[in-house]
Amino acid sequence: MAGYILRRLLLMIPTLIGIMAINFAVVQFAPGGPVEKVIAKLQGTDIGATDRFTGAGADLGGQAPDQASGEAITSKYRGAQGLDPEFIKKLEKEFGFDRPPLERFGLMLWNYARFDFGESYFRSISVIDLIKEKLPVSISLGLWMTLLSYGISIPLGIAKAVRDGSRFDVWTSFVIAIGYAVPSFLFGILLIVLFAGGSFWSIFPLRGLTSEGWGAMGWPERILDYFWHMALPLLAMATHAFATTTLLVKNSFLDEIRKQYVLTARMKGLSERKVLYGHVFRNAMLIVIAGFPGAFIASFFAGSLLIETIFSLDGLGLLSFESVINRDYAVVFATLYVFSLMGLVINILSDLTYMWIDPRIDFESREV
C-alpha cells in the first residue's frame, strides 16, 4: 500500500504540470489580456465582470501618457495605438510579459511548487491572502452540501431499493424527479422569493455567512446565526445533488441485491439486516464513493458559482469566474492549481476509502 501511495503522489507532479501547461497554452492564444484590460480602463472602454477591480495603471501614473512623437505606433495590443511605447513596456514588465512564454511558465511552476502565488494583477493583495479570504465561504458550501446530500441520499436510496415498486418508492421517485429536473440556481431564486424577503416572507438573510456583531455573540448564538445564513444556499445546492446520489445509491443496491451471493446468504438463515448491511452495503457503496471526489470538488466551483452570486456569498467560485473575466491571470492560475491539487489528493483518499470498505481490493498489486 505504501508503494502504491508513493507512486500516486509522484504521478501528481506530471499531472499538475500537464494541467497547468494546457491552460497556460490556451491563455496565450486567448484574445485580450491584463495589458489590454488596463488600456481599456484608461480609455474608458472596459466592461468587466464587477467594479471591484482597480486598474494596475494607477501604479504607472493613473493614466496612459501621450505619445511623445506624432509617428503612428504599431502595437500587438488592441487599442494601444497612439500610446507611448515606454508605457506599454512598463505594463508588460509589471505583468511579467516582458519574458518569453516558456520562461514565464517555468517560473510560475517553480513559485507554485513553493506555494508562492504572487499578487493579484488588479487588487493590492497577495493571491494566497485572497484565497484565504474567500475559502471559508467555499468550504462551508462544499463541505456541508456534500455531507447533507450524502447523509440524506444514502439511507433514502437504501430504503427505496428495499421497497422497490412500493408506494413509498413511487412517491419519493416523484420528488426526486422534480429535484433532478430543477436547476440549483432556479430553486435558489424560488427560495429567495419565498423566504428571503422577495415577495412573501423575510425569514432568512440574503447576504454573507454571518450577521453584524457575530463576534460579540456567544458560541450557541454564533452557531445558530451561521446555519441561519447557510440554510437557503445549502438547500438550493443540495437538492440536485441529493436527487442524483439517491438514484445512484438505489440502482447500486438493486444491482447487488439481485446477485447470487445475497440469495446464498439468505438461505443460510442470515437476517435481512445482516444481509443488507453486512454484505450488500460495502459492495454497493463502492460506486457511490467513486463519485465523491468529483462531487466534492464540483461543489467548490461549478456547483457554487451561481449560488454564490444569487445569495451574495463571496467565495472561490465567484472569485475564479471574476478573475477569468477580468483577465487576472495570477488568480486564475493559482485557483486552478489549488483546485487541481485538491482533486488529486481527494482521489487518493477515495482509493484508501475503497480499501477500508472492501479489503478485497488490493492496490499494491495494481499498476497506477
80 in a structural domain = yes
Please check whether residues 71 and 177 belong to one and the same domain: no
User: Which residues lie across from 232 on neighbouring strands?
Assistant: none
**pLDDT tens digits along 136-190:** 888 888 788 888 888 888 899 989 988 888 999 999 999 888 888 888 888 888 8
Buried b (16+ CB within 10 A) or exposed e, 263-285: eebeeeeeeeeebbeebbebbbb
Cα 321 from Cα 326, distance rounded (Å): 9
Same domain, 55 and 186: no
Report residue 368 CA to chain centroid gap: 26
Residue 262 domain flag: yes
Residue 23 lies in a domain: no
Range among 32-41, 190-199, 217-226 rated most confident: 217-226
For 240, the grid coordinates are: 440536485
Q: 173 and 318, same structural domain?
A: yes
Count other C-beta atoms under 10 Å from residue 188's C-beta: 22
Q: Does residue 106 belong to any structural domain of this protein?
A: no
Question: Alpha-carbon distance 105 to 6, whole Å?
Answer: 26
Q: Rounded to an integer, what distance in angstroms lies between the CA atom of residue 82 and that of residue 67?
A: 6
Shared domain for 84 and 137, answered yes or no, is: no
Q: Which of 49, 76, 98 is the last residue of a domain?
A: 98
**Cα–Cα distance list, 175 to 172, 232, 239, 240 (Å):** 5, 18, 10, 11
pTM: 0.73
- pLDDT, one tens digit per residue, over 117-126 is 988 888 888 8
Residues 223 and 338 reside in one and the same domain: yes
Q: State the residue range of the domain holding 197.
A: 128-357
For residues 221 and 72, the model is more confident at 221
Question: What CATH number does residue 153 fall under?
Answer: 1.10.3720.10
The answer to whether 95 and 56 have CB atoms below 8 angstroms apart is yes
Q: Which residues pair with 119 in a beta bridge?
A: 126
Residue 78 lies in a domain: yes
Q: Give 232-261 pLDDT, tens digit per residue.
A: 888 888 887 788 888 888 988 898 888 888
**Does residue 336 lie in a domain region?**
yes
Amino acid present at 283:
N
End-to-end CA distance of the chain: 12
Q: How many residues does the chain have?
A: 368
Residues 195 and 85 in one domain: no
Domain count, the chain: 2
In this prediction, what percent of the chain has a pLDDT beyond 90? 9
- In this structure, is residue 26 part of a structural domain? no
> Which domain-ending residue is among 46, 80, 98?
98
Q: Is 240 in the same domain as 279?
A: yes
Report the distance separating Cα 25 and Cα 148, nearest Å: 39
Instruction: Decide: helix, strand or coil at residue 47.
Output: coil
Per-residue pLDDT reduced to its tens digit, 49-83: 554 544 444 454 444 455 444 344 445 666 556 56
Residues 207 and 315 in one domain: yes
Statement to judge: residues 220 and 263 lie in one domain: yes
Q: Quick one: 183 and 241 in the same domain?
A: yes
What is the DSSP track for 188-234? HHHHHHHHBSSSS-B-S--SSSS-TTGGGS-HHHHHHHHHHHHHHHH
In a domain, 115, yes or no: no
Asked whether residue 220 falls in the same domain as residue 89, the answer is: no
Q: Are residues 193 and 293 in the same domain?
A: yes
In the three-class reduction of DSSP (H, G, I as helix; E, B as strand; rest coil), residue 202 is classed as strand
